[in-house]
Structure 1
C-alpha cells in the first residue's frame, strides 16, 4: 500500500485580481469548493481567502498533481459561480496560481494563516502579500524576467 503525504499551499486569484468574491457569498464558494474536493478525492484541509483570491491547503494523493488539482478546483468553481449568477459580470480565475510545499511541522501555522485571511487583509493587500511571497520563495512574475 502506497503512502503519500505532500502538503501544498495553493493560492489563486480572480481574473485581473478584481474584488468579485463578495462577503455575502464568499463562504458559499468555499463550502462549494470543499464539497467538490470531496467528490473529486482532493484532500482539502483548509480554505479561505478574500475578495480577490483564495488560499487552499491540500494534501496531494499519489496520482494527483498541482496542475490538475488547480484546474479541477478553479474550473468547477468558476462554472458554479456563473451558473448561480453570484457576480454581475462573468466570473473567471486568473490562469496562474501560486503553490508551495508545506512541511508537516508547519501545517498548523499555514492552517491558521489561511483561517485568518479577513484579519490579515485588513492590514495588507493581496498585492503586498504576493510581493511578500515572491521575496520569501524567490520567484518572479514573467514581466520581471
Structure 2
C-alpha cells in the first residue's frame, strides 16, 4: 500500500547575530545549493528567498525525514559550502535555532507569494519585527530573551 502525504513547512532561519553576510548577488547560487539538499532528502522545494541576513523556505517534508535533522542538514551543509566559497567571505555561520510552521494546501500560494516578496517586504519591516509577527499570528509562545 502506498502512503500519501502533504506536509508543507515554512522554515525561517537567520545569520549569526542577524548580520548582513549573504550578498544579494549570490543568493541564487545559495538557493540552488539548498534546493539540492532538499531534493536529496526527498523533499520538494516550493519557494526559497530571503535577504542579506535570513532565509525563508517553503518545502514539502518527506515522512521519513525528521524536521530537526532536515533543518540541521540544510544549515550545516550550506554553512560548510559558503565558507568554502569566495562569494560569502563575510559569512560567519547561521544563528542557532529556526522557526518552522506547517501549512495546508489552501495556504500554499499565499506563503509562496510572501516568500517571493521578501526583498520588497523588508524595505519597510525589519527581520526581528517580521519574526515576532509570524510568531504572534501563529499563536506561538516565545520569550524575547531567547529570540534575539
Q: SS state of the match for residue 122, structure 2?
A: helix
Equivalenced residue count is 145
Taking structure 2 as the reference length, the TM-score comes to 0.90
* Residue 103 (structure 2) aligns with: 102
* Residue 65 (structure 1) aligns with: 66
* Residue 22 (structure 1) aligns with: 23
- Note the residue ranges of structure 2 that are not aligned, 5 or more in a row: none
* Residue 33 (structure 1) aligns with: 34
Q: State the shift of 1:133 in Å.
A: 1.4
Q: State the shift of 1:75 in Å.
A: 0.7
Q: State the shift of 1:143 in Å.
A: 1.7
Q: State the shift of 1:139 in Å.
A: 2.4
Taking structure 1 as the reference length, the TM-score comes to 0.92
- Note the residue ranges of structure 1 that are not aligned, 5 or more in a row: none
The separation in 2 between residues aligned to 1:38 and 1:84, in whole angstroms, is: 22
RMSD, matched Cα: 1.7
Q: SS state of the match for residue 86, structure 1?
A: helix
The separation in 2 between residues aligned to 1:74 and 1:55, in whole angstroms, is: 12
Contact 1:42 1:69 in 2 (8 A): no
